[in-house]
Each structure stands twice: as C-alpha cells, then as structure tokens.
Amino acid sequence: MFEVRDKDLAGRIGRLKTRHGVIETPYLFPVVDPRRQEVSLDELRSLGYNAIITNAYFLWKNRREEALNRGIHSLLGFDGIVMTDSGAYQVLQYGSIDVSPREIVEFQSSIGVDIGVILDLPTGASKDKKYAEHTVKETLRRARDASRIAVQGETLWVLPIQGGRFLDLVERSAAEASRIPGYSIFALGSPTPLMERYVFSLVVEMIHRARIHLDPSRPLHLFGAGHPMLIPIAVAMGVDLFDSASYILYARSGRYLTEHGTHRLDELSYFPCSCPVCSKHSPEELREMDAYERTRLLALHNLHVVRRVLGEVKQAIREGRLWELVEAYARSHPALYKAYQAMAGKGSWLEAMDPRVKGIVKGIFLYDCLSIMRPEVTRYRLFIKNTYTPRIPKDRILVLLPGDPEDKPFTASSIYYEARSLYGEAHYVFYTPFYGVVPQELDSAYPLSQYEAPVNPCRSVVREMVRDIGSYVERFQSAYKGIYAAYSPRLKWSLNACRSLSAKYNVRCVKL
C-alpha cells in the first residue's frame, strides 16, 4: 500500500497505492470546492495533480442523493484520486455540524472515495488542556468506533492525531492511535491556527512528538499546510502528505505565493517566477483583468510554485541534501529559522532516521552553528567517541594537526607534509571544526573530505571541536608515549585549541 523509495533525514519519497492510481509522496492535495472552483479539475490534472481533496460534509449537506447515486468520481468529473475531509474544520469553526461521526464515515464509504477521514474533534488553538484532553479522547473513541468500517473495502482511512500545543497529549494520541486497526494513514490535526500565526517551531515539535510513536510504514498527513515555505522542513521531520486551499484563497485576495513568502499583487512590479502564467503576463496585466480571470491565473501560479517546491524537495531527498534545502529556506523568515533551530535540536533522532547509505552521494555544505547537528556529522562524531580505535605506530607518537577546510584531503595538505618532515612516521590526527577529530586513516572517507565549510566558523562549533580533541586525548593518552600539537596562524581557532591542549594535557604547541 505504501512503499518507500528513498529517504533523507525523516523525509521519504514514497508510493501510496489507491484504487484510482498511485500518489508519489511528498504530495499536496489541492482542496476543491465543487460550489466554486476557478481552476478546473482538468487544469489541476495538467499541472500534475492526480489527487485532490474535497469536503464530504458539504456534499452530504447539499448533494447527498446525487453523490450516493453517481459516486464521487462521476459527480466531480474527475477520474483521478479523490480524498474527502469529514467536516472537522467546520466543527473547529462553528462548534458542531449536523451529521454524526458514523454517518459521515458511512457516507464517504458509500460514495467511493479513495481516501477518507473520520470525523475527529479538533483541538485547534485551544489553551485549555482539559478541553484538549477531551478532544484526544473523543477522537480516539470515534476512531475505534469507525474501525469496523475502516477495515473493510478499498478506501484508505485517515486517523487524525489531536492534542494541539500540548505535546504530551500529541504523544498520547499518536501512541494510542497507532494501536487501532484499519487505518492506512495518520494525520496531524489542528496545525492551521499555529501556521496562520507563523508559530512554525511548535508545528515542528508537534510533528516530532507524533512521528516518534507512529508506524513508519504508514504515511503522515499534515492538515492545512499549504504554504510552500513550510513544506521542506515538514518533510524533513517526516510528513508525507499535505492539503491546502491556500492556492485559491490567496488568489482570491490577490496574494502571490513564492517559495520564501507571500506578496500582494498590488505591490509587485515584476514576477520573480518563470511559470507559464508569469512568463506570459506582467503584474500590471493581471491587475487590469476581471476578478475571475485574475484569480484563476494567480491560483495557477500558486499551484506551479507548490509543485516546484515538491520537486525540489524530492530531488534533495534523492541527493541527500534535504538538510541544506531546509537551511536555505530557513533564512527566508525568522519564524522559519526558529523552526529550523527546533529541527536541529532533534539531531540525534534525525540521525537514527537518516539512511547511512544512498545511491547518489553529494558533497555536503556546512554553514553555521546548527550545521553541526547534521546526521552525517553527528554520526561521525559518535563513531569517533564510541567505536573508533586508533592504529598506533611503533614509535607511539601522536601529532595533532589543524585540518584546513579549504585544503582537503588533509593528508595532501602542506601542513601535513611539513609535520611529517618534523615527526616522521607518527600517528597524525587532524582536528577541524564540525567533525572534530579526523585520524589520518579516515581522512578520505565520506564525507570527511567531501564538504565545504567556512574557514573560521562560529564559536560554539570551535568549542565542540576542542571538547572532541580533549575526549580523544583522554581516551587514548596512555597508548602514546609522546603527544605533539601544531597550529596555523591562518586558522584562528587552531591556536586557541592548541593552547587548550597545552594547558590541560601538557602538550607542546608548534607553529606550522
């Protein structure tokens, strides 16, 4: 049903099989409102959207008999994959709707939807923990009640995870939901109010708390997350599916989506995009159009941007550079950078989720203090700390040398050759920002020579490097009968590191 084809961090490229076709994840379902839809379903298909989402409650309320007689695909005139939401968003808006949880589940099953959602009780932005706990319990009760229907037929059923800002409740909801049979997809509910206020860091925490308890063989959906700027970091944290009406709602209010933010059409002099809409029209031309056509074209542009970001994310997963993509997006908005900080704080978990071997291998980019949390770096530092044993030469001399990030591999650098002329066949161990300790025999192993980094990085990275050197010396000091260290004036951090070694371990510092 769900097959993972590639991975990077907690993100996956996968294939979700339904009775009307296959969805390649990560994927965003455009929300379709049959009552008013400026972008036709044929246009959505032509843009590459083979799956859509619509509201089962609206159909139940307004076109129930027609939907039951014709089926959802005939009613919409769409032969692709149709997902329906149950009306929970209307519950969040109005407090209740005039259909029972069981009725709306049976209705979705009867009209032949490919993916259906039970009628959960959303937590929303509630700050009342007692109420939030009620939403978790009630949603789980409804999920158990609907399980009998969910295990039957060909419809894939979605079980929403509630708890909102209360992360312990999100964990509880996810842990209990994972034990209920019949559900093919999990979804994180109630993020929309937080995303509207740009509280992206809390959304990252919610995704993490849910993902750690959910079966990784089943995809995770993030409700209402349609802004392209949020997609890379959500995928990196383990989200596979999205849905959103933002593409059309923004268009109706004259807003223009980009990968890094939103612009008002009235404020644009040029389009920073080359999609078919932007390459054929200017902002002024769109402003002069009638409202319907302007909305339609803006919506088409917005859909192009989402597709472009999804493609960019998939390629980053394939190349093992999803972290770098998130870093690049994070600098487009302070709230997104805060979310990136939250993601970096999950470095150990991401390292466990991240594949150790990939088909396509690319050199990695290390930028600032948070880059040290990349899985490749974390994994290597843990290997040195917990597993590595040095090959001690006969003369048992250790020489610590600064590794210049711009002169790799370190064993081909001028510093190395100069040191060899002084110390001969010693054991040479390089110290360098981000990776910490790099023994000469590992120097060419990926990614110790396949990376780019600033020559003089931030202080916290240097402090971590000094700690790594100290840890190495403490572990193996007794195996060597002599320890020497060198520094380079060009590498400002190397003198401080050398002095620290000298003070703590009685190591003599030599300038190279």
Task: Report, as residue numbers or ranges, the catalytic residues.
Answer: 85
How far is it, in rounded angstroms, from Cα 415 to Cα 417?
A: 6
Q: How far is CA 299 from CA 242, 256, 287, 334, in A?
A: 17, 8, 14, 26
- Can you spell out the DSSP letters for 65-130? HHHHHH-HHHHHT--SEEEEE-SHHHHHHHS--SS-HHHHHHHHHHTT-SEEE------TT---HH
Kindly report the number of other CB atoms within 10 A of residue 319's CB atom: 17
Query: In this structure, what token pair is assigned to residue 105?
Result: 């589940």
Q: Are 385 and 472 in contact (CB under 8 A)?
A: no
What is the C-alpha end-to-end distance of the chain, expressed in Å? 60
What is d(CA 381, CA 253) in angstroms, rounded to the nearest whole number?
A: 50
The full DSSP string for 235-304 is: HHTT--EEEESHHHHHHHTTEEEETTEEEEGGG-SS-S--SHHHHH--HHHHHHS-HHHHHHHHHHHHHH
Helices (H), 320-387: 322-330, 334-344, 347-353, 375-386
